[in-house]
Structure 1
Amino acid sequence: MYSPLLFFIVFHCIFLACAYSGWSNLNIIPRKTIQYEDNHVITFKEKGVWNYSTMLIREDLGLLVLGAREAVYALDINNISIAKSKVLWKVTEEKQKECTSKGKHPDIDCRNYVRMLHQMNDGVMYACGTNAFSPTCDFITYGDGQLKLEGKQEDGRGKCPFDPFQRSSSIMVDQDLYSATSLNFLGSEPVILRTSSSTLRTVFKSSWLNEPNFVYMDMVPESEDSPEGDDDKVYMFFSENAVEYDFYNKLVVSRVARVCKGDMGGQRTLQRKWTSFLKARLDCSVPEPSLPYIIQDVFHVRHKKWRKSVFYAVFTSQASSTDRSSAVCAYTVTDISEVFSRGKFKTEVTVEMSDVKWVMYNGELPVPRPGACINNAARSSGIMRSLDLPDKTLQFIRDRPLMDDAVRPITGKPLLLKKGPLLTRLIVDQVTASDGQSYPVMFVGTENGYVQKAVNYDGEIHIIEEVKLFENAEPIDVLRLHQNRLYAGSASGVVQMPVSNCSRYSSCLDCVLARDPYCAWESPAQRCSRVATSPENAESNLIQSLKNGDATRCPTTAPVEPKIRTLILGNNIRLLCHPDSNLAQVNWNFAGKPLLYSNRKYTIYNDAILIYNASIADAGLYTCTSVEWAKGRDYIQTLAIYDLREQSAVVVTDKMITTLGILPESNTPSSDLHKPEDPSLYLKNQSFESKWIVMQVTLAVLSVMMACLLIWNLYMGHISLFMCCGRQPLKSPRNVPEREYMHTENDAVDSKQQTVMLCLTTNSDLEAPSFHRNTTNGEMPTDVHIFKYITDESEI
């Protein structure tokens, strides 16, 4: 008879644990936030030019070649603010009129957006632009400090998108261009194309590509050290409408596909089509139930041994705008290759009035295996190239290019998972720390113009810092990494920044708790510096603790000297205190006693305290300390001490007020002085308290439900009061003698109302006094009739 209550209690505990775990995983706060005014980055932009979304690093020329709207720039790779050359690439009036006549905007759509830049073997660059919805490609050279457009225009259909805002991807492999985009004006013919002496493309079937959104493409040299004599492969990442799920609405899923570099198409079946095209679902599962997350960007971390290469990918939720979250998952080339080479296929079956469903194929596979590259086993059978493949193998892959198995991430779950502004682009840098280990540091661009630097330490997500790169909140469209420099492009400009600025860490405690693989504290020099990769770098001279965040080796800092400030009666006084970390809790003490946030005399911000209407009682010593928690330890640091002293002078000049740190009364309404300068700062300062609000509300609601369930069980007799509090069982109105239960009908109604009130006000601080003794006469309220049967044991 106790099973309903026990089940509810167990469910209650599990729900709270899961909710807190999900909350802590998603609401990750960057340790430092660098605003636009303090980012110290190098910027390039030109008036009237927009959409800096294509980059090509020419290390041999010392250039960052930048493609924008109707312009290509050659920037100094060490200082992008220096533009060495520029070439314009505008559309003709005829093309613009033609584009406008098709219903496109003349100043937005009907321009030439440079969407592709690739280097060829002879140093010439191959560029493609949208050209007013008429894609065109040309060659660009750089010589004598000048960029030059060769004027050898080629048709760009299938290489470059028609729509300037449609995603596409491409790569140049041995002078062959692999591209993924659309073949027509409407964007209804998606294609993965190889432009070479033997041009190949995908088949126009929904089972091959179903309204895809292409994201990334790269080559993996799988022929190296391959005992099977395998071929190199080109991998493509994209999202598309799933054909294998039966829903009323379209369900978008993420995919990874591959083709063989040596593919030449089929002899009769799949002529000039890929014979090695296979695709599989890319899984990046999050803890809470949700629709599949959609891939947005990919970065390939290459390794000398290709089997250890890793693809990092950014995913975003496809739920409503009120539940915006992003994730980063990582996949090894080996795991992806395993799904394609040994996994099961999906196949179409017709059921119930010609409805088509996709199920796992359990029949016998043709030989050679469909979708496989030409290897030693195929060559031993006389099949030397894809043109020699039998029709049975080609027909199978034509109808069944989809794998049944999904590719799982390395860790089985995301490396990074967070709510807030969506992540857009990502790059990863392998950093060797002072302990000799290599750590992958993720630089992730956001939709509001920030770059976040994050590391996953054995499953623990740590966001080292976030830097605002652009003045306006605009998405980061492209990220590139070269020799410890990060290049970011958006609609309005390009930014260059170092991967780490160790000088931002002002103390040993700040440096170590940052847990930045690039930085360590140098004890002799008393500064936070870049970790050298040379062997002579002695680890004993460096203090760095990445996984544990252990700053106990840091030397004791000198005591903070008090700053004397003058108190003027009636004024509002502000005392500054800047914490080193967003994760630190700021505490203020006055005369050795803590100041509470609820005190109406003060307003405590993230970086200051405001004292209203100062009086003589406010004079004294104010101490600001920060407490930062790291891996089970609290690190307390004194940030500032103020000695507030009374001044008898009544007239104080504005200059003196500014010097003393006192808010001026002139030109500032008194009401304005009592308003927070930035409410967001106050909320941010309350992070350690406000983060429990959700949990407290949930606990309160569930506790009320438990209380109601308990009272219902008492009322129904499922459990007795004796079992709960050690008294005799409570007699219900059902078994009380008539002489003991002589309430009127109105009393019965009141009793029910009291019972309902008891359920509704459980765990309420406001209503709780009504269930204690009367404060006026020390007696119980007479209208709560049910208490008679609890306290009056003589009648029982």
Structure 2
Amino acid sequence: MFAFQLILQCSYVVKILIWSICFIAFCHAWLPDGSSKLVNNFKSISSISFTGNASFPDHFIVLNQDDNSIIIGGRNRIYNLSIYDFHERKEGRIDWPSSDAHGQLCILKGKTEDDCQNYIRILYHSESGKLVVCGTNSYKPLCRTYAPKDGKYSVEKEVEGIGLCPYNPEHNSTSVFYNGQLFSATVADFSGGDPLIYREPQRTELFDLKQLNAPNFVSSLPYGDFIFFFYRETAVEYMNCGKVIYSRVARVCKDDKGGPHQSRDRWTSFLKARLNCSIPGEYPFYFDEIQSTSDIVEGKYNSDESKRIIYGILTTPINAIGGSAICAYHMDDILRAFEGSFKQQENINSNWLPVPENMVPQPRPGQCVRDSRILPDKNVNFIKTHSLMEEAVPAFFGKPVLVRVSLQYRFTAITVDPQVKTTNNKYVDVLYIGTDDGKVLKAVNIPNGDTAKAIVISENTVLPHGSAVKQLKIAPGYGKIVVVGKDEVRLTTLNHCSSITRCSECVGLQDPHCAWDAKQNACVSIDAVTSYRFLIQDVPRGDVNKCWSPQSDKKTVIKSKSDAEEKKEIQTNSLDDKDLDSTDPVIRTDEDPECDPLDENSIGGCAVRQQLVIYTAGTLHIVVVVVSIVGLLLGFIAGYLFSQKFHSHSQYPEAPFIEQHNHLERLSANQTGYLTPRANKAVNLVVNVSSSSPPPKKDNLDVGKDLNISSDGTLQKIKKTYI
């Protein structure tokens, strides 16, 4: 019995071990690397807050930024803030509330009082130096032209802003002012059912799902001869299989003047292509919904040739696994996608297939021409029905730069501090990524061969109460950014150098803004030093072995004699006097060109190093599993010994022995056991019938059950007792 109980307990322990190992393995295999070197809460972040009116929702948006100022659009007002300390220059403030008539009409249409305000969405300077401002104006978009006068702005004229400015302050719209013209992507009706890309007087086709199908516009920018628009929309090519949202990049020619005849107010160059951001494999995993893009960044990535790329944030659908990714796109790849095959659907039940080259009219539709108004009707009609390209734009590095799977947040905004110089004269991009729960991630994109990987330096809670980050902008200074929320704007410093006290932590952070100053024994910001002579930094690998060797990360200066022989003698004696193991500092001549000597009388800045052991995540998981197994076994043994020590032996024999004894007494006819009733009551448990005695008579009533045959052959009725 004891052996059986022991087997049961052992099997239970084995099950626990198996489930523990499976759980650890599952977590390690499913979740990607979600580690951050630093995690800072809201109170540990240095920031300056600007809250506007602080009483009502402002729906803040950055309208313009220069070297000294940042212009913020809010509720019925434009704010002019200093980019250095967020001090408001009240002389530059512009107030523009909606009129009472427009506000009352808006409320009659079913909108709330907060909706029926004038939220400023667009601001730009015209070629004449005048200021043009557009606002929602209680769901009746309006634009004003302000002329500067005596240090203030006076209203010069008002025009309708339909097609330029959104009706709803929360609608995803974008605009770009280029060469004296405003290109916008928004909606042109109260209900938001007429999306368009517009530049007076040209626009996309009205209610044409092949051109725009419920789009959410993200950003726009000029490049070359084109204006590019980034957005997400319901994929028309997937409608026969269900509903899915794809990310797009569309373009129009800057000098498109419209087509001939009835097409004079329509684009003749509008084309769009899909953006591919996926984890490669036999069945790629796609991030299909673009949320934000950076400005164009120019740099050298794994080659001597300068390249222009743009970073984009793409996520999984809202009802799917919470995944976010950052993909980079080379502008040449975007242009190349528009030079490929067009895509078409012959009829409503057909698949979308590439258009044969012999069916494409000449000159090729979508190209920029001197005067689009003289294009043949065949070309203009082709572009209306074949605006989608066959090939998707691939990610620049072949896969996402950064992937995060989280149940807590998704990425919402991105900005880039481009081509930050490191101490070894390399250049890397520092990425700032906003989330929908008020966090800002600081990461560095490190190219390596034909690919790149972003290392998350820190994860910082910047906006309180889990407010979503709407916009991010770079501010002057290393690590300073502007974080825009719905009701608050913050000037935040994400330079963590001063909070780090050890060389190994400073170098291991892999932050190009920080380096360990061996002369000052401090982690310093790169922009605060004038020479790289004493700095230790390793952005690509974070190799802490580059640090100095003493036991609390203090520098060690070994004085040398005047000649090279005495320097060699010092190294030899040091090696002879110490037992060299993996933890002792090793003194050796440094040949690393990144290491500088302390002074003229010292050996080498990196001559004395500390050998540190770095454990990987896989090693840590193995240690956790082994420790868990040992702990469970020790707990089982201790519990068993404890139970045996306090186990009390019963005064009765074991149950199987009692049952055997009772069975033997039942077989004895002349003996009575301790189970036999008292008062000499005859209890016949077994009937013995001799061979000469006739068998008991049985009838239909089964009388024989209550009869007994006595020794003289007579039948006697007995009382049956059940045990």
Query: For 1:498-556, what per-residue CA distance to the aligned partner results, in whole angstroms no more than 9, with x for missing partners?
Result: 4524212222122111100111111112222222499xx55442100011111223224
1:316-355 matches, cutoff 5 A: 316-320=315-319, 323-341=321-339, 343-350=340-347, 355=349
Corresponding residue to 1:264 among 257, 260, 266: 257
One-letter amino acid of the counterpart of residue 165, structure 1: E
1:235 aligns with one of 186, 208, 228: 228
Q: Give, in whole Å, the separation in 2 of the partners of 1:139 and 1:307.
A: 40
Find the counterpart in structure 2 of residue 634 from structure 1.
613
Question: What is the one-letter code of the residue matched to 1:54?
Answer: I
Distance in 2 between the 1:503 and 1:495 partners? 21
* CA distance in 2 between partners of 1:529 and 1:145 (Å): 42
Q: Aligned letter for 2:322?
A: R
In structure 2, distance between residues paired with 1:307 and 1:203: 38
Q: 1:449 aligns with which of 422, 438, 447?
A: 438
* Separation of aligned partners in 1, 2:528 and 2:371: 46
Partner of 2:98: 91
Q: 2:417 aligns with which of 400, 409, 429?
A: 429
Residues 1:315 and 2:314 are matched in the alignment: yes
How far apart, in 2, do the equivalents of 1:81 and 1:510 lie? 35
After superposition, the Cα gap between the structure-2 partners of 1:36 and 1:768, relative to the gap in structure 1 and judged at 3 Å, is closer
Instruction: Quote the Cα distance in structure 1 between the aligned partners of 2:96 and 2:377.
Output: 47
Equivalent of 2:117 in 90, 111, 117: 111
Among 211, 218, 221, the alignment partner of 1:218 is: 221
**CA–CA distance in 2 between the matches of 1:403 and 1:16?**
45
**8 Å contact kept, 1:443–1:451:** yes
Cα separation, partners in 2 of 1:144 and 1:30, compared to 1, 3 Å:
farther
CA distance 1:276–1:19, change in 2 (3 Å): farther
Whether the 8 Å contact between 1:269 and 1:395 is mirrored in structure 2 is no
Mapped to 2, the partners of 1:475 and 1:418 lie a distance apart of: 17
CA contact (8 A) 2:59 2:119 kept: no
Q: C-alpha displacement at 1:450, in angstroms?
A: 1.4
Partner residue, 1:530: 525
Partner of 2:580: none
In 2, are the aligned partners of 1:488 and 1:494 still within 8 Å (CA)?
A: yes
Return closer, same or farther for 1:498/1:120 CA change in 2, 3 Å cut-off: farther
Matched, 1:408 2:394: yes
Tell me, in whole angstroms, the C-alpha distance in 2 between the residues paired with 1:17 and 1:559: 36
Q: Do the aligned residues in 2 keep the contact of 1:446 with 1:476 (CA within 8 Å)?
A: yes
Cα distance 1:335–1:548, how it changes in 2: closer, same or farther (>3 A)? same
Match of 1:392 among 361, 367, 378: 378
Q: Which amino acid aligns with 2:536?
A: I
Match of 2:288 among 263, 285, 293: 293
TM-aligned CA distance change 1:141 to 1:501, over 3 Å: farther
Structure number with greater Rg is: 2
* Counterpart amino acid of residue 551 in structure 1: V
Please tell me whether the aligned partners of residues 53 and 478 of structure 1 are also in contact (alpha carbons under 8 angstroms).
no
Residue 192 of structure 2 corresponds to which residue in structure 1?
A: 187
Q: Of residues 364, 367, 376 in structure 1, which corresponds to 2:362?
A: 367
Cα distance in 2 between the residues matched to 1:412 and 1:30 = 24
- Is the CA contact 2:463–2:469 (under 8 Å) kept in the aligned structure 1? no
- Mapped to 2, the partners of 1:498 and 1:145 lie a distance apart of 32
Contact 1:316–1:423 (8 Å) recurs in 2: yes
The aligned residue for residue 152 of structure 1 is 157
1:32 aligns with 2:25: no
- The correspondence for 1:69, drawn from 58, 69, 75, is 75
Please list the CA deviations of residues 206-259 of structure 1 after superposition, one character each: whole Å capped at 9, or x if unmatched.
101011111100001x2xxxxxxxxx1100000111111144542111000011
1:52 positional shift:
4.6
Aligned to 1:358: 352
Structure 1 position 296, deviation (Å): 0.4
Counterpart residue type for residue 82 of structure 1:
E
Q: CA deviation at 1:359?
A: 1.6
Matched residues, percent identical?
31
Q: How much has 1:263 moved relative to structure 2?
A: 1.0
Distance 1:533-1:282 versus aligned 2 partners, 3 A rule: farther
Structure 1 range deviating more: 66-75 or 495-504: 495-504
Give the 3-state SS of the residue equivalent to 2:46 in structure 1. coil
1:494: which partner in 2? 489
Alignment equivalent of 2:167, drawn from 162, 168, 172: 162
Q: Residues 24 and 621 of structure 2 are in contact (CA less than 8 Å); yes or no, is this contact kept in structure 1? A: no
Distance 2:149 2:505 in 1: 48
Which whole-Å CA distance do the structure 2 matches of 1:191 and 1:264 have between them?
A: 17
The answer to whether the Cα contact below 8 Å between 2:73 and 2:120 also exists between their aligned partners in 1 is: yes
Q: Is the 8 A contact 2:337 2:393 kept in 1?
A: yes
Letter in 1 for 2:190: F
Q: Any conservation in 1 of the 2:32–2:404 contact (CA below 8 Å)?
A: no
Q: Displacement, 1:123?
A: 3.8
In 1, distance between residues paired with 2:105 and 2:155? 24
AA at the equivalent of 1:541: F
For structure 1, list consecutive stretches of 5 or more residues without a partner in the other structure.
Answer: 1-12, 223-231, 375-383, 561-631, 637-686, 701-763, 770-774, 777-796
C-alpha contact 1:51 1:490 (8 A) present in aligned 2: no
CA distance in 1, matches of 2:421, 2:539: 12
SS at match of 1:334: helix
Shift in Å at residue 455 of structure 1?
1.6
8 Å CA contact 1:128, 1:156 repeated in 2: yes
Equivalent residue of 1:127, what SS? strand
**Which amino acid in the other structure matches residue 219 of structure 1?**
P
Structure 1's 765 and 525: CA in aligned 2 closer, same or farther, altered over 3 A?
closer
Unmatched segments (≥5 aa) in structure 2? 1-20, 554-610, 638-642, 645-723
- Give the whole-Å Cα distance in 1 for the aligned partners of 2:146 and 2:494: 30
TM-score (norm 1): 0.63
Q: Report the alpha carbon displacement of residue 464 of structure 1 after superposing the two structures with TM.
A: 0.6
Secondary structure of the 1:96 match is: helix
Contact 2:195/2:212 (CA < 8 Å) preserved in 1? yes
How many angstroms does 1:307 deviate by? 7.9
Aligned twin of 2:14 = none
Aligned residues: 540
Distance 1:291 1:635 in 2: 34
Separation (CA, whole Å) in 2 of partners of 1:52 and 1:149: 25
Aligned-pair distance for 1:49? 4.5
